[in-house]
Structure 1
Amino acid sequence: MSWESFLYMGGYALYVWPAYGVTALVLVGTLIWPVFQRKQLLRQLTIKQKRSQAR
């Protein structure tokens, strides 16, 4: 099996490679999104805490 035939995927490359790409993006997004959510939540909690202490 040559690299060219592997990349061509028996004529289905236009369907297979985008599917791999979308899957990779979803997996990376699933790993990164909670980090951003946590940072945002911590910022909001810090602001609320500072407001309550100022009263």
Structure 2
Amino acid sequence: MWNSPAEFFAMGGYALYVWCSFGVCLLVMLVEPISIRIRRKAIIQRLQQEHLAEQFDKEGRQ
């Protein structure tokens, strides 16, 4: 139990560990969706390039 906001933010002497943990968790939760979106775009672009290369290759064989 905390009697004041200062005691709450001090977290019983473990404030550095607690708030850094929350900060790292928040950072990961923000960065992960952005990273996934970037990787997804790169994969789609690579697949489109491969598809175009296959079409070009098929047209060259005819």
The two structures have a TM-score, normalised by structure 2, of 0.68
Q: Which runs of 5+ in 2 are unaligned?
A: 58-62
Q: Which moved more, 1:20-29 or 1:36-45?
A: 20-29
Give the Å deviation of 1:54: 1.7
2:60 aligns to what? none
Q: Which runs of 5+ in 1 are unaligned?
A: none
CA distance in 1, matches of 2:42, 2:4: 48
CA distance in 1, matches of 2:5, 2:33: 31
2:37 aligns to what? 35
Structure number with larger C-alpha Rg:
2
Amino acid at match of 1:41: I
1:11 aligns to what? 13
The two structures have a TM-score, normalised by structure 1, of 0.73
Amino acid at match of 2:28: V
Larger RCO (CA within 8 A; separation ≥ 6): 1
What root-mean-square deviation, in Å, do the aligned CA atoms of Structure 1 and Structure 2 show?
Answer: 1.7
Alignment match of 1:46 (pick from 39, 45, 48): 48
Count of aligned pairs between the two proteins: 55
